[in-house]
Structure formats: structure tokens, C-alpha cells
Amino acid sequence: MSIENAADITGLLKIGRIVGLTIAAMRDALEPGITTAELDAIGERFLLQNGARSAPQLAYKFPGATCISVNDEVAHGIPGSRVIQAGDVVNIDVSAELGGYYADSGMTVAVPPVSAETQRLLDCGRRALNAGIEAARAGNRINAIGRAVQTEAEKGGYNIIRDLAGHGVGRKIHEKPSVPNYFTQRAKDKLTEGLVVTLEPFLTTGSGHIYTAADGWTLKTVDKKPFAQFEHTIIITKNKPILVTAV
């Protein structure tokens, strides 16, 4: 969507803050011994207490309120009986709706003890997202974001998972445009003031190729390599974008 009035900004910031705080609550509860279903229940409870609804459930009938992906699971991990172990890398992805507005955010967390290799991957993932945010300004082309993300990832020695991209958001959970995390001439449309999108780089130590697991939802790396994803919903402006899901 594109912002049309002050009410749009207010509505987006309200659901964005709820999404961000939901992720924070789930992150703080993450520890060895908790199941992904228990972690999801914490997220679902927080959303409901704030009047929000799970976007994956609304839009796709996803079998969970949030997506929780562990280790080589890249995205759309279904909450269930899996028990989190020390050393696991866990991605928490929350998207939700309130008052007709949608926001989407995610982060990857390592459960201690954290290896130096894992910490480097997570640090680079955050830098890649920040680089994309810096490039996301009205007048720049969409592929400026991908160039910035790809440059940061390759500087760290990581590959981009190219089958996954950022996207428009706001009135629905997934809208146009697609926002690739690598430079491509196809993404040459200009970013316009007020456009609402998610930026979500996916970095991996492996080849970057993924497949859909037998459950029909979970995406996994073909080489079982770990990954890192960090995501914010943003509103494009002439200067730095507004971070809708920051808390």
C-alpha cells in the first residue's frame, strides 16, 4: 500500500508496534526445553491481548499464529512439539492485522552457547538489513536495496537466498512490489514516498538453494546450512524510512 493520510500512518504504527513487541516477548521466552508450540502460544496470546490477529492464519490458514523456523529451516516453520536445544538458531517471524492494517517483522536468535561462526552470520544479517534500509529512499530504484544487501552479505562471505524477497504490505500481508535481496535489473521501478514494504534479507553459509519440506509449508536449505533473516516493515520517505515494526 501507499500512505494516503495520517490515519494510515497511525494504523500501521499501531500494528507495527504490536508485532515488534510480540517478537520481543517470544525472544525473551526462548530457552532450551521450550517447544516451538509453546513459543507460538506466547506470541498468539500477546497478539490476542492487543486485539490483533495472526496474518498467516487469516490469509493462508497457516497452522500456527507465528512462523518459527529452526536451524536449516529458512521460513514458514510450523510450531509443534520440537524442543529447542542449546545452540539452536531460531527464526521468529510475526505478521499480524489490526483495524485493516498489516505489519510483518522477523529476527533470528541463537540459543546459547553461540559459536563464533553463528554470531558472525547473525551480525552480518543485521548489517545487511540496515544497509537495505539506508538504500530505501524515495527516488531510488528498488534494486538499490538489493545491491546494498548483496554487497554487505558478500563482504561477510555469505550467499543470499534468492528465492525469498521483501514485499509490499499494509492492506494485505503480501502485496506488490517484490523487493529482491540481490541486484537485478528487473527491479528497476522507483521507490515512491509513502510506499509500505518489508525488507527481509536471508543470508546463509551454504549455496542459498531451498526446498519445501513434506509438510507443505516449511522451507529448508538443501545443504542443511544455517541462515539468518532480519525483517522490518518500513514506510518510504525522501530521507530514512519510518521503521514501522521497531520497538
- Three-state SS for 170-212 is CCCCCEEEEECCCCCCCCCCECCCCEEEEECCEEECCCCCEEE
From CA 187, how far away is CA 144, in angstroms rounded? 9
Least Cα distance to 156 among 210, 117, 109, 114 occurs for 117
Residue 146 CA, distance from chain mean position: 15
The pLDDT > 90 percentage for the chain reads: 99
Give 59-76 pLDDT, tens digit per residue.
999 999 999 999 999 999
Orientation angle between helical segments 142-155 and 116-135, nearest 10 degrees: 160
Looking at residue 169, its pLDDT comes to 98
Mean per-residue pLDDT over the chain, rounded: 97
Mean pLDDT of 170-192: 97
Domain positions in the chain: 6-243
Look up the pTM and report it: 0.96
From CA 172, how far away is CA 186, in angstroms rounded? 23
Looking at residue 129, its pLDDT comes to 98
Give 1-37 pLDDT, tens digit per residue.
999 999 999 999 999 999 999 999 999 999 999 999 9
Count how many residues are written for the chain. Answer: 247
From CA 199, how far away is CA 179, in angstroms rounded? 7
Q: What is the CATH number of domain 6-243?
A: 3.90.230.10
Looking at residue 232, its pLDDT comes to 98
